[in-house]
Amino acid sequence: MDALDVLQELTDDLLYHGDLDAALRRMLQQGFADRDGERVQGLRELLERIRRERQDRLDRFDLGGVFDDIARELREVVQQDRDAIEELRREAAESGDARRRELTEEVAAERDLHLDMLPRDLAGQVRSLQHHDFTSGEAQERFEELVDRLREQLMQQMVDRMSDAVGSMGPEDLARMKDMMAELNQMLADRAEGREPDFDGFMERFGDFFPENPQSLDELLEVMARRMAAAQAMLASMTPEQRQQLQALSDQLLEDMDLRWQVDQLGANLRQLFPDAGWGRQYSFEGGDPLDWGEAQSMLGELGELDDLEQLLRGAVDPGALADVDVERVRDLVGPDAARSLEQLAELTRMLTEAGLVERREGKLELTPAGMRRLGRNALAELFKRLQRDVMGGHRIDRSGIGHERTPDTKSYEWGDPFNLHINKTIGNAVRRGAAEGRTSGPVRLAPEDFEVEQTEQQVRSATVLMLDLSLSMPMRDNFLPAKKVAMALHALISMQYPRDYLGIVGFSEVARVLEAHQLPEVSWDFVYGTNMQHGFALARQLLARQHGTKQILMITDGEPTAHLNSSGRPEFHYPPVRATVDATLLEVLRCTREGIRINTFMLDADRGLQHFVERMTELNRGRAFFTSPETLGDFVLVDFIEQKRKLLRGRSA
């Protein structure tokens, strides 16, 4: 995919709507096929893919696994201690000591009773076991490890994964985290009161908590906001029973009220600073695969990233907005095809700009002259592809001297000039260029910029005005885009093959107006009723009055004249057409005829009224009329133009 491919893809949309930014947005939304025929997904498809990925996760997994694992481990600890109690009884019985057996039974019965009376909820079980007199040292050690791990995971749930240090948190680490929270809250207070926070000092002391390596306080706060919002999403996504268990477990294991206050204070501050960080996210897990604590946190993080990606894509109004997307992360979350599509979509504007086809002016993308030429060539190439091969043979005129008398003057060769090469001056240019480049010997190497041609007096020249119907009926009947393509193609043809010819453009609806070639891509239809041929002919005649050579008007229309300018210069609209409108239009046709201007009319969807009017017009003007369709309009216009040009050339050469 290169810039020319992109512009080719944009051509129809741009010509139809006349808005480059809007055409790019639609291409961004709809996607396209690259030169290998591979589908580049648009934002609509990507958003649907994100929705499917999110739903697949929700349909597959269950957050209940977070508590299932804790409950399972607690059951195993209890069973391990019960086994130790039974082993204690067995050893006492085998000792043969009645007193020992009696004392052991009392202790065992008491400990069994304590285990039998364990509450059903996890927090109650943890609280009771913390006061349980374990018989098994291994069971007690395993329980203490479980409590430490739960405490760490709850801290992660409060502030998400701050660093690897959290995974081995002891009393000192807990105190250090509390200090970090307090300093962070103090920096927020300093900023609110107009004081400059000591961000660098904070990062020196606590930078290991932030593997993201934020470079400013704002980046640091955004990191914390994302973490705490993800933790909140996990809590909100649980069932009421699961939330209650988590809250009770948190109250049981995190007894440091100052730490809890610091966390709550920071959360409140970050909610105010980053209200759009996703604090209200909630997911409905309905699957059967249980997630343990670490997997649940990872899954909630992925879901949050999918939400953020969806929000970014929904808000993307131009390809440049996709530059912030982490493509590698998209590859992990949504797949390689989506990542490739996003990469290509993000490059669209940059490719067009670097190729010199578009530029941004006053915040709006517009075609450059090079882009304008390429757009015309695209339209011309598309129309020529449809022509029959035998007709194509007549398009190229290679006779040197398109009707000329040579003059002593020469000039640098430009595209479209007759190739009457002045050998001496061309070789001289090449020698001087070689000397300037440090080459004083060896063969003379010619370059295109060396070519110098003899100037000719122009003897055969045509001046054309294209009259383009911009009335509302054109888009309503699907005639507008083919007509505009013909205008672009004709401009490209004349610019490339007949650069000395003149092409003027007049658009007409209720009134007519002169259009410059650079305006063509953005020209759209008028949201008014009325086909004012009279005013169009008048403007075309004025343009041709300043030209010499063979003069003609090519009019593309789908309706008879329904508007004219009255004696006061105001437009009048009448449908069906009234005699005054028809007479005013035919009067302009007569004026064109007197000035040697031929009018060739290309009728789209011609009804009887239009046919009758055009017949009267051709009787007066001796021009020609073509009854055509949107599919064949370009063939008629281009072939007719070229054939007339050939006749002029043959007449001159004879």
Q: Are residues 441 and 567 in the same domain?
A: no
Q: Are residues 120 and 48 in the same domain?
A: no
Instruction: State pLDDT tens for residues 198-215.
Output: 888 988 888 887 777 888
Q: Are residues 448 and 562 in the same domain?
A: no
Q: Are residues 337 and 278 in the same domain?
A: no
Q: Are residues 486 and 597 in the same domain?
A: yes
Q: Are residues 273 and 168 in the same domain?
A: yes
Q: Are residues 520 and 576 in the same domain?
A: yes
Q: What is the CATH number of the domain that holds 563?
A: 3.40.50.410
Cis peptide before 576 (omega within 30 of 0): yes
| Residue span of the structural domain in which 347 resides | 3-62+305-367
Q: Are residues 434 and 486 in the same domain?
A: no
Chain centroid to CA 293: 37
Can you give the pLDDT at residue 353? 87
DSSP three-state, residue 566: coil
Can you give the pLDDT at residue 255? 57
Whether 197 contacts 217, CB under 8 Å = yes
Whole-angstrom distance, CA of residue 270 vs CA of residue 262:
12
Q: Which residues contact residue 128 at a Cβ distance below 8 angstroms, ignoring those fewer than 6 apart?
A: 114, 117, 118, 119
Q: Are residues 219 and 104 in the same domain?
A: yes
Side by side, the strands of the sheet bearing 550-557 are 512-515, 502-508, 462-469, 550-557, 597-604, 625-628
Our count of domains for the chain comes to 4
Residue 312 has pLDDT above 60, yes or no: yes
Among 431-440, 540-549, 628-637, which stretch is predicted with the lowest mean pLDDT?
Answer: 628-637
Q: Is residue 392 part of a domain?
A: no
Whether 466 contacts 540, CB under 8 Å = no
Mean pLDDT of 57-75: 80
Q: Is residue 73 part of a domain?
A: yes
Whole-angstrom distance, CA of residue 524 vs CA of residue 518:
13
Residue 391 has pLDDT above 60, yes or no: no
Q: Is residue 292 part of a domain?
A: no
Mean pLDDT of 372-380: 81
Whole-angstrom distance, CA of residue 42 vs CA of residue 32:
7
pLDDT bucket at 251, cuts 50 / 70 / 90: low
**Top-ranked range on mean pLDDT: pick from 215-219, 266-270, 493-497, 601-605:** 215-219
Q: Is residue 344 part of a domain?
A: yes
Q: Is residue 396 part of a domain?
A: no
Strand-pairing partners, residue 31, are 41
Residue 400 vs residue 264, higher pLDDT: 264
* The last residue of a domain, from among 318, 348, 367: 367
Q: Which residues of 158-175 are buried (b: 16+ CB within 10 A; e: fewer)?
A: bbbbbeeebeebeeebbe
Residue 186 has pLDDT above 70, yes or no: yes
- Provide the 10 A C-beta neighbour count for residue 359: 14
Whole-angstrom distance, CA of residue 237 vs CA of residue 233:
6
Q: Are residues 421 and 311 in the same domain?
A: no
Instruction: Give the global pTM.
Output: 0.57
Can you give the pLDDT at residue 431? 87
Q: Is residue 376 part of a domain?
A: no
Among 9-23, 63-77, 229-243, 429-443, which stretch is predicted with the lowest mean pLDDT?
Answer: 229-243
Q: Is residue 336 part of a domain?
A: yes
* The last residue of a domain, from among 319, 348, 367: 367
Return the percentage of the chain with pLDDT > 70, whole number: 81
What is the rounded average pLDDT for all residues in the chain? Answer: 79
Q: Is residue 380 part of a domain?
A: no
Whether 323 contacts 98, CB under 8 Å = no
Q: Are residues 10 and 72 in the same domain?
A: no
Whole-angstrom distance, CA of residue 179 vs CA of residue 163:
15
Q: Are residues 429 and 467 in the same domain?
A: no
Residue 506 has pLDDT above 70, yes or no: yes
Going by C-alpha positions, the residue among 600, 522, 596 that lies closest to residue 557 is 600
pLDDT bucket at 389, cuts 50 / 70 / 90: very low
Burial grade of 4 (CB within 10 A; 0-12, 13-18, 19 or more): middle
Q: Provide the H-helix boundaries in 163-236.
A: 171-192, 199-206, 217-236
Strand-pairing partners, residue 421, are 453
pLDDT bucket at 559, cuts 50 / 70 / 90: confident
Whole-angstrom distance, CA of residue 198 vs CA of residue 187:
7
